[in-house]
Chain A
Amino acid sequence: MSDTRMNRRDFIRSAGALGVLSALPVTTVELAFADPQENFTFAHISDSHIQHIKGTEFVRNWDRGLIRAVAETNLLLPKPDFVMFGGDLAQLGTKAELDHGAEMLSELKYDIHCVMGEHDYYLDLGEYWSELFGPHYYSWDHKGVHFVVLNSILTYDQWTYERWPTAEQRMLEMAGLDNPNGSPFMVGEKQRAWLRQDLAKVKKDTPIVVFSHSPIQKIYKGWNFWTDDAEQVQALLQPFNDVSVVYGHVHQIQYNQIGNISFYAVMATAWPWPYPQSYAQATSNLPKLTVPMNRADPFFERDATGWQSIGVDSGRVAMHYNLYNNTNRTVAFNRETGRPEDTVYQTADSRIAPQIHY
């Protein structure tokens, strides 16, 4: 009958990121910045897909997803340094949807930086987006880390400018994930040139975190879990010691390591997507490292959706997935093995039924 203190959840602890590091061998902790103040956290909300029905009616399900993510982010202790929005704020890129989404985001008590998604872009090529949120690609420095935002959902000029008779049609064609009329995403030559000269000013041992919407990898072309010039972008990033790419679009947990670069997907607040291997008629390259999220119970509209609190420890990322109605998951860079790993479920014998029951 002892009177015990309750357990606390990792990511609301003041040493949220350090809480993860403390699970790794002591020597790796010594590699951290001498000054622990250099470790910090930020939040990441993505893929809200605000969908207009008519008049003032929006799809309630997606609205609630964004509302809840914002409300919970506002409760975070310690406070995050800033919030990222990962793209696809709107579903069909209309002003009504972007405004409604921006209104919900404005409840956040922090600065936000936004990433473009294809659902935001293909109606007016990001014109209204820029009015609301600024440039489509940019960079900034924060506590010794160089942050870059890329617009990685561009595609071939012919498809963008000539193929479709109306902007609405173009948006609809890109909106269908499995639409055979779609076109592969890319960062494109212009942005790669910009990235090259942006990174030229950055020292090789400065940690870099790149935000994009599409994965900067080639995972499954049929659903545009794809970036056509992935290798070229990766080549620009490989020379740096600590690089993390954080991407949206896939609406599921994914993570990977390619050379020097760690990749982390963020969850959607709106709805989950199946893993590509669940499409029996095509092959795909889901990173083998990834332990899938739990399969959803569709009765609970927020199941398999969520938002993220991201810790940056000595320039490497620890991703705390806040999953509604689910046990939260943490995927953090493991310095021993040199790759992102789930802190609980990484080994095959620690998987649970909902992660393999697809």
Chain B
Amino acid sequence: MSRKTMMAAGAVVVVAVFAGGILILADEFTEKDQKRWQDEFMTVVQQGRELWVSADLGTNGVACAQCHPNAANTHPETYPKFQQQLGRVVALRDMINWCIQQPLEGEPLKLDDPRLVAMEAYATYERRGVPLAPGKH
């Protein structure tokens, strides 16, 4: 970069930094940010809850909540773990897919499907506070 360009870039940065009349640094988030992000998260937790009680994830009308009220007995704190039913070490979403495919008789979701993230968010949220125990059967 030429000296001129560098100085221009520097000026832009300084202006940007002083934009709102206050000093804004990229890596310093505020309490307002935190609250907003937490709310964003809870929206997805709520979506996960709706999927959890939905009769439409599979093809037979069975919902996750029928066997796992409040996502109990899903043990998200133990993943990844050796999942006996899959014969290998897997992550929570792989087991969610197993349940969709087996007791719910449905098609497994793609691993990057936002619905899987939502259900993971809901299940782990209902399990908050429990220490991690990865690999525990």
Q: Which residues of A contact B (CB under 8 A)?
A: 51-53, 59-61, 176-179, 222-223, 271-274, 276, 278-282, 295, 297-299, 301, 357-358
Residues of chain B from 59 to 98 with CB closer than 8 A to chain A in the complex: 60-62, 65-70, 72-73, 84-85
**What are the 8 tightest A-B residue pairs by CB atom distance, in nearest-first order?**
A274-B73, A178-B69, A274-B72, A177-B69, A279-B72, A278-B72, A178-B70, A279-B70
In the complex, the chain A residue whose C-beta lies closest to that of B136 is: A357
Interface flags, B113-135, vs A, CB<8A=1, else 0: 00000000000001111100000
**A298 contacts B85, C-beta separation under 8 Å:** yes
User: A59-B60, A281-B128 provided; 8 other pairs, C-beta below 8 A?
Assistant: A176-B65, A177-B66, A223-B70, A273-B67, A279-B72, A281-B129, A297-B84, A298-B99
> Main SS of chain B's interface residues?
loop
**B102 contacts A299, C-beta separation under 8 Å:** yes
B44 within 8 A of A: no
Contact sample, A vs B, 29 pairs, CB 8 Å cutoff = A51-B60, A51-B62, A53-B60, A59-B61, A59-B62, A61-B60, A61-B103, A176-B69, A177-B65, A177-B66, A179-B53, A223-B69, A223-B70, A271-B67, A272-B67, A274-B68, A274-B72, A274-B73, A279-B70, A280-B129, A280-B130, A281-B70, A281-B128, A282-B70, A298-B85, A298-B99, A298-B103, A299-B102, A357-B137
Nearest-CB distance from B29 to chain A (Å)?
A: 27
> Main SS of chain A's interface residues?
loop
In the complex, the chain B residue whose C-beta lies closest to that of A299 is: B85
In the complex, the chain B residue whose C-beta lies closest to that of A52 is: B61
Which of B66, B99, B102 lies at the interface centre, i.e. has the most chain A CB atoms within 10 A of its CB? B66
Task: Tell me how many residues of B have a C-beta within 8 Å of chain A.
Answer: 23
Residues of B contacting A297 in the complex (Cβ-Cβ under 8 angstroms) = 84-85
**B69 contacts A280, C-beta separation under 8 Å:** no
Residues of B contacting A51 in the complex (Cβ-Cβ under 8 angstroms) = 60-62
**B67 contacts A178, C-beta separation under 8 Å:** no
Residues of A contacting B60 in the complex (Cβ-Cβ under 8 angstroms) = 51, 53, 59-61
Task: Please report the C-alpha to C-alpha distance between residue A281 and residue B72 in the assembled complex, in whole angstroms.
Answer: 10
Residues of A contacting B127 in the complex (Cβ-Cβ under 8 angstroms) = 280
Residues of A contacting B69 in the complex (Cβ-Cβ under 8 angstroms) = 176-178, 223, 273-274, 279
**A176 contacts B70, C-beta separation under 8 Å:** no
Task: Please report the C-alpha to C-alpha distance between residue A299 and residue B61 in the assembled complex, in whole angstroms.
Answer: 18
